[in-house]
Structure 1
Amino acid sequence: MSSVAAETPAVAAPVNPRSRVILASLVGTTIEFYDFYVYATAAVLVFPHLFFPKGNDETALLASFAVFGAAMIARPLGAIFFGHLGDKRGRKITLVGALLTMGVATFLIGLLPTYPVAGWTAPALLVLLRLAQGFALGGEWSGAALVATENAPQGKRAIFGTFPQLGAPLGFIIANGLFLVIAALLPSADPSRPSDEFLAWGWRIPFLFSAVMVIVGLWVRLSLVESTAFEKTLRAGRVHKLPLAAVVRAYWKELILGTFYMLATYVLFYLMTTFSLSYGRAPVDGALPGLGYDYKTFVLMMIAGVVFFGIFTLVSGPWADRWGRRRTLIRVTIAIVVFGLLWVPMLAAGFVGVMAWLILGFALMGMTFGPMGALLPELFPANVRYTGSGISYNVSSILGAAVAPFIAVALWSAGGGSPFLVGLYLSAMAVLTLIALLIGRETKDVDIEA
Structure 2
Amino acid sequence: MSPSSTTPGATPPHVPAAQPARAALAAWTGSALEYYDFFIYGTAAALVFNKVFFPASSPAAGTLLSLATFGVAYVARPLGAVMFGHIGDRLGRKKVLVATLMMMGIATVAIGFLPSYDTIGALAPALLVVCRIFQGLSAGGEQAGANSMTLEHAPQHRRAFFTSFTLSGTQGGQILATAVFLPVALLPEDALLSWGWRVPFWASVVVLVAGALIRRTLHETPVFRSEIAAPDAPPEQLPIAALFGSHWPNLLRVTLAATVASVSTLMTVFALSFAVNTVGLERSTMLWVVVCANVVALAAIPLFATLADRVGRRPVFLLGAVGSAVVLAGYLWAITTGTVVLVFAAGILLSGVIYSAVNGVWPAFYAEMFPARVRLTGTAVGTQVGFALGGFAPSIAAALAGDTAAGWVAVAVFGTAICLISAASAYSARETAHLSLDDIEQVQDRAGAPAPATAR
- How does the TM-score come out when normalised to structure 2? 0.89
Aligned partner (choices 227, 231, 237) of residue 233 of structure 1: 227
Match of 1:64 in 2: 66
Aligned to 2:285: 297
- Opposite residue 218 of structure 1, the aligned amino acid is A
Indicate conservation of the 8 Å contact 1:347/1:357, yes or no.
Answer: no
- For the pair 1:318 / 2:277, whether they are aligned, the reply is no
**Aligned equivalent of 2:93:** 91
Query: Which segment is superposed worse, 131-140 or 413-422?
Result: 413-422
Q: Is the 8 A contact 2:326 2:416 kept in 1?
A: yes
Q: CA deviation at 1:368?
A: 1.0
CA contact (8 A) 1:316 1:371 kept: yes
Q: Which residue of 2 aligns with 1:166?
A: 168
In the alignment, which residue of structure 1 is the partner of 2:297?
309
For residue 356 of structure 1, report the CA deviation from its aligned partner: 1.7
2:266 aligned partner: 271
Deviations 1:22-80 (A, max 9, x none): 21110000000000011011101221011113341010010011111010010010010
Matched, 1:409 2:398: yes
- Residues 391-406 of structure 1 mapped to structure 2, 5 A cutoff: 391-398=381-388, 400-406=389-395
Instruction: Label 1:64 to 1:325 Cα distance change in 2 as closer, same or farther (>3 A).
Output: same
RMSD between superposed Cα atoms in Å: 1.7
Aligned twin of 2:425 = 436
Residues 211-230 of structure 1: pairs in structure 2 closer than 5 A: 211-230=205-224
Note if contact 1:75-1:394 (Cα within 8 Å) is conserved in structure 2. Answer: yes
Work out the CA distance in 1 between the residues paired with 2:93 and 2:305.
23
Deviation beyond 4 Å, 4+ runs, structure 1: none
Residue deviations 1:133-185 (CA, integer Å, cap 9, x gap)? 0000001110111121111112000000110000121111111111112334x
Q: Is it true that 1:369 corresponds to 2:359 in the alignment?
A: yes
> Counterpart of 2:387 in structure 1: which amino acid?
S
Shift of 1:345: 5.0
SS in 2 for 1:431: helix
Counterpart in the other structure of 2:452? none
Counterpart CA distance in 2 for 1:177 and 1:416 is 27
Find the residue that maps to 2:430 and give its secondary structure: coil
Confirm whether residue 260 of structure 1 aligns to residue 256 of structure 2: yes
User: Which residue among 73, 77, 80 is the counterpart of 1:78?
Assistant: 80
Gap runs ≥5 in structure 2: 1-12, 442-456
Mean Cα displacement is larger for which, 370-379 or 293-302?
293-302
Counterpart of 1:281? 276
Distance in 1 between residues matched to 2:19 and 2:427, nearest whole Å: 37
Q: Distance in 1 between matches of 2:56 and 2:32?
A: 34
Aligned to 1:8: none
Q: 1:348 to 1:112 in 2, by over 3 A?
A: closer
- Counterpart amino acid of 2:417? A
Q: Supply the AA of the counterpart residue of 1:247.
A: L
Q: Deviations over 1:182-207 (max 9, x none)?
A: 334xx32xxxxxx2112111111111
Q: CA deviation at 1:18?
A: 2.9
Deviation at 1:97, TM superposition (A): 0.6
Structure 2 CA distance for partners of 1:275 and 1:104, relative to 1, 3 Å: same
* Aligned mate of 1:100, from 78, 99, 102: 102
Contact 2:272 2:286 in 1 (8 A): yes
Checking the alignment, whether the CA contact within 8 Å between 2:305 and 2:360 is kept in structure 1 is yes
Greater mean alpha carbon deviation, residues 304-313 or residues 250-259? 304-313
> Are residue 117 (structure 1) and residue 113 (structure 2) matched?
no
Contact 2:325 2:416 survives alignment (8 Å)? yes
Q: Work out whether 1:387 is the aligned partner of 2:364.
A: no
SS of corresponding position for 2:203: helix
Deviates more, 1:415-424 or 1:138-147: 415-424
Gaps of at least 5 residues in structure 1 are 1-11, 189-194, 283-288
Separation in 2 of the partners of 1:305 and 1:382?
Answer: 34
**Structure 2 vs 1, CA of residues 390 and 91 (structure 1 numbering), >3 Å: closer, same or farther?**
same
Q: Give the counterpart of 2:238 among 239, 242, 248.
A: 242
Question: Aligned partners of 1:428, 1:215: CA distance in 2, in Å?
Answer: 41
Please show how residues 46-57 of structure 1 align to structure 2 within 5 Å. 46-57=48-59
Alpha-carbon offset, residue 394 of structure 1: 0.3
Contact 2:320 2:355 in 1 (8 A): no
SS in 2 for 1:432: helix
Separation in structure 1 between the aligned mates of residue 200 and residue 418 of structure 2, nearest angstrom: 33
Q: In percent, how many aligned pairs have the same letter?
A: 35
Which SS does the other structure have where 1:440 is aligned?
Answer: coil
Larger Rg: 1
Does structure 2 retain, via aligned residues, the 8 Å contact 1:229–1:382? yes
Instruction: Describe the shift of the 1:179–1:344 C-alpha distance in structure 2 as closer, same or farther (beyond 3 A).
Output: closer
Distance 1:344 1:406 in 2: 16
Which of 112, 127, 130 lines up with 1:128 in the alignment?
130
More helix by share: 2
